[in-house]
Amino acid sequence: MLKFGLNILLIILSLNVNAQGEAYYRRVMGCLASDSLQGREGGTFYEQVAAKFILEEFSSIPNCRAKLQSFRFTKDSMRSKSQNIIAYFDHHAPKTLLLSAHYDHIGLGGDLSMSQGVHAVHNGADDNASGVALMLGLAKALSAECKTYNLLFVSYGAHEKGLYGSSNFFNKAKKYRSKLVLSINFDMVGRMKNNLFYTDGTDEIVDDIVKASNEQITFAKSTFDRINTLDSKWFFQDGIPSLTFSTGRHIDYHKVSDDLEYINFEGMEIIHSTLQEWLINWCKS
C-alpha cells in the first residue's frame, strides 16, 4: 500500500511540473516545494516521495548511475529511516568532484519552525528545494563538459534533524572519499539580493571563486561559520577542499512563508551560468 501511494503521488506531481514553457528550476522546485509533499520531513513518507523524484531526475541524465542509500537515525529516542540519493558519472578519472544539497525540510513545523504556534506545511522552497534544483541543473550541464574528473552528486536526507544524511554518506563513502578533490554544497540559493552570493570553506578555494565575480554576481566570503554547520563540514574537517554556497538567511527562514513565489529565478540562472563556467575551467586546470 505504501509503494502504491508513493507511485500515485509521483504521477500527480509529474502532471503538475510538466507545464509547457516553465524553466527547469521552476519544474523541480514546484514539485519539491508543493503542498503535496507536506514539507518533506526527514524519516517520513513524503521525504521518500521527494527522494524518488530526485532519483528519477538524475536517472534521466545520460551515463548517470543513480541509486538510493538508505540509513537509519535516532532523534529524540525515535528510530527513523531516511535515504540519500547518490548519482555518479564515472569518467574513469583518478579524481572526483562532489556537489551536494539536502532535500528534506521540517514538515509541518514543530520545534524547528520560526512560525510560532503554527501547525501547517512548511514548503521549504529556498530551504532547500533551491539547492537541489541548482545541483540537478549543474549535473545536466557538467556531465558532458567535465570529463577529466568523475562527477559525484549527493542529495542528503534528514539534514534538518541533525545532518544525519551527510554524516552517514561520509562514513560509508570510503570508495568515493579516496578520490575526492573538492566538495561543494548548496543550501538556500534561491533568494539572491544585490547580486551577492555567499561562500565559506577552504581559504584558497574561496579566494579562487571570489575572483569569478562579475557585473551580475559578487561572490562574498560569509561572515558566518557556514562550513562547520552544514553538510560539507565532514569533508572540510577531513582535510578535503570544500565550499558551501548560499544566498543568505531571510525573513521566511523555517517559516510557512518560504514559498516558490519569493524565489529569484533570474538570480538562480545567473548563479548557475557563473558556477558552470567556473567549474568547467576548474576541471580543465
- Specify the pairing of strand 242-246 against strand 78-89: unpaired
Q: Please report which confidence band the pLDDT of residue 7 belongs to, taking 50, 70 and 90 as the band edges.
A: low
The answer, yes or no, to whether residue 25 has pLDDT greater than 60, is: yes
pLDDT computed for residue 34 by the predictor: 97
Overall number of domains in the chain = 1
Q: Please report which confidence band the pLDDT of residue 18 belongs to, taking 50, 70 and 90 as the band edges.
A: very low
Cross-strand bridge partners of residue 184: 99, 243
Look over the chain and give the mean of its residue pLDDT values, rounded to a whole number.
Answer: 92
Q: Express as a percent the part of the chain with pLDDT over 90.
A: 86
Q: Compute the average pLDDT of residues 164-182.
A: 94
User: Mind listing the pLDDT tens digit for each residue in 197-248?
Assistant: 999 999 999 999 999 999 999 999 998 899 999 999 999 999 999 999 999 9
User: Mind listing the pLDDT tens digit for each residue in 274-284?
Assistant: 999 999 999 88
- Using a cut of 0.95, tell me whether the model's pTM lies above it: no
Q: Please report which confidence band the pLDDT of residue 14 belongs to, taking 50, 70 and 90 as the band edges.
A: very low
The answer, yes or no, to whether residue 258 has pLDDT greater than 60, is: yes
pLDDT computed for residue 285 by the predictor: 79
d(CA 50, CA 56): 10
Establish how many alpha carbons lie within 13 A of residue 50's alpha carbon, considering only the half-sphere containing its beta carbon.
39
User: Mind listing the pLDDT tens digit for each residue in 72-89?
Assistant: 999 999 999 999 999 999
Burial pattern 218-245, b for ≥16 Cβ within 10 A else e, equals ebbebeeebbeebbbbbbbeeebbbbbb
Q: What is the dihedral of CA 93, 96, 97, 99, to 10 degrees?
A: 120
Kindly report the CATH number assigned to the domain that includes residue 78.
Answer: 3.40.630.10
Residues in the chain: 285
pLDDT computed for residue 147 by the predictor: 92
Pair 32, 40: CB distance under 8 Å: yes
Q: Please report which confidence band the pLDDT of residue 175 belongs to, taking 50, 70 and 90 as the band edges.
A: confident
pLDDT computed for residue 20 by the predictor: 33
User: Mind listing the pLDDT tens digit for each residue in 90-112?
Assistant: 999 999 999 999 999 999 999 99
Edge to edge, what strands does the sheet with 96-102 contain? 65-75, 78-89, 150-156, 96-102, 180-186, 242-246, 196-201, 218-221
SS3 assignment for 206-232: HHHHHCCCCCCCEEEECCCCCCCCCCC
Q: Which three cell numbers stand for residue 63?
A: 551515463
- Which of 219, 15, 5, 252 has the alpha carbon at shortest distance from 130? 252
pLDDT computed for residue 128 by the predictor: 98
The 10 Å Cβ neighbour count of residue 104 is 31
Residue-range definition of the domain harbouring residue 208: 2-284
d(CA 158, CA 83): 8
Specify the higher pLDDT residue, 282 or 187.
Answer: 187
